[in-house]
Chain A
Amino acid sequence: MALTAAAALLAQISILTVAPVRMVKVKRGGTASIRVACELKPGFHVNSNKPAEDFLIPLRLTWEKGVLEVAEVVFPKALFRKFDFSEKPLSVYEGAFDVETRFRIPAGAPNGLGMMTGKLRYQACNDRECFPPKTVEIRVPLQVE
């Protein structure tokens, strides 16, 4: 029983997994697009970046100031799902989805290796329970040419 409960609780730590982002080669003065691949365990959802209700915590991807300049963060199209606990359909993501960030590389960016660091904040639920919001650090190794 203890092991079962521990396993269930440990499993919830990875309700959402984010694949490591491979090194990205970028050119000074150019643009780059980086996709953060997320996957939710079956039966779970996170609110989209534009939840249907004010009280819900949206999915957010923010980047620390770095070599690249953020032009736009593009979230996938949300699903509208009705749950037992919701009076109207909620705007959510389920399964696998990517969050894309479009960057500009300044002409004066230093050559060589660098790193962009971001934070993905999400709040997950299944159809009966919700789990506290979590933040995952995203690290993107760069090579500026």
Chain B
Amino acid sequence: MYLFSVRRVLLAALSLSLAGFGLGCGSSKPVRAASLTASAKRKVAADFALKDADGKLVKLSDFKGKVVLLDFWATWCGPCKFEIPWFKEFERGYKDQGFLVLGVSMDEEGWQIVKPFAQELGINYRIVIGNDTTADLYGGVTALPTTFLIDREGKVASVHVGLASKADFENGIKELLAESAGKSASVGIDGRGGASRPN
């Protein structure tokens, strides 16, 4: 399994600690979703390029200028499945305001298992298949779901490890859309790579 070598786990622990992220693994206590990090203190979300179901390369930087909910999930993860209807609703409800959901599936079997699952659940947002490298970029992603809210400038505003509440996500999205509404006009959506926004 690609997520769990001891070395990787230790590295992940260190990364998470340094990043100041809350960590809920190993605990059955409810994990409060993180509140938004102050704008000045946010760190740039690491860019990655992964293929979607159509084989199209998707880069996170393609979405600069939008608020992104980046969800690390897997088909075998009950809490992840529970959150999917919320994400579908957010995608529908806030799309026109410059918001999108990007799901990064950590299923080892890839599209063979993810495609039918996504179809069955009627997932309306973009999905890519993640790997070790992607997980490492985001502190190891040792437990699923792990969800990041990224502001229009491509910076991580919050991280939710484990099942959070719909209201916590939605409040964060609204806050990010509101705080950056004025900035969006001046920030290009092509970000660092100059790539055009995928449809």
With A2-B17, A9-B142, A85-B82 given, is the CB distance from A55 to B76 under 8 Å? yes
For the complex, is B78 an interface residue (Cβ under 8 Å from A)? yes
Cβ B4 vs Cβ A130 within 8 A: no
Main SS of the interface on chain A? loop
Q: B25 — which chain A residues lie within 8 A by C-beta?
A: 8-9, 12, 126, 129, 131
Shortest distance between the CB of B50 and any CB in chain A (Å): 18
Cβ B77 vs Cβ A130 within 8 A: yes
Q: A86 — which chain B residues lie within 8 A by C-beta?
A: 78, 82
Max chain B CB contacts within 10 Å: which of A4, A53, A127, A130? Answer: A130
Cα–Cα, bound, A127→B78 (Å): 9
Cβ A130 vs Cβ B74 within 8 A: yes
Cβ A13 vs Cβ B142 within 8 A: no
Contact bitstring B59-88, A, C-beta under 8 A = 1, else 0:
000000000000000111111111000000
With A129-B161, A131-B143 given, is the CB distance from A9 to B24 under 8 Å? no
* Chain A: interface residue total (CB-CB under 8 A): 38
Cβ A128 vs Cβ B28 within 8 A: yes
With A8-B23, A8-B25, A9-B9 given, is the CB distance from A133 to B76 under 8 Å? yes
For the complex, is B18 an interface residue (Cβ under 8 Å from A)? yes
For the complex, is A43 an interface residue (Cβ under 8 Å from B)? yes
For the complex, is B156 an interface residue (Cβ under 8 Å from A)? no
Cα–Cα, bound, A132→B105 (Å): 12
Question: Looking across the interface, which residue of chain B has its beta carbon closest to that of A47?
Answer: B76
In the complex, chain A residues 1-43 whose Cβ is within 8 Å of any chain B Cβ: 1-2, 4-13, 15, 41-43
* Chain B: interface residue total (CB-CB under 8 A): 41
For the complex, is B106 an interface residue (Cβ under 8 Å from A)? yes
Cβ B26 vs Cβ A132 within 8 A: no
For the complex, is B182 an interface residue (Cβ under 8 Å from A)? no
Cα–Cα, bound, A57→B74 (Å): 11
Cβ A85 vs Cβ B10 within 8 A: no
For the complex, is A134 an interface residue (Cβ under 8 Å from B)? yes
Question: Hey, which bits of chain A sit against chain B, CB under 8 A?
Answer: 1-2, 4-13, 15, 41-44, 53, 55-57, 83-86, 90, 123, 125-135
Question: Hey, which bits of chain B sit against chain A, CB under 8 A?
Answer: 1-4, 6, 9-10, 12-14, 16-18, 20, 23-28, 30-31, 74-82, 106, 117, 140, 142-145, 161-163
New A-B pairs, 15, CB < 8 Å, besides A5-B23, A9-B23: A6-B14, A10-B9, A11-B26, A12-B26, A13-B4, A42-B28, A43-B27, A83-B78, A90-B78, A126-B28, A128-B162, A130-B77, A130-B79, A132-B1, A132-B3
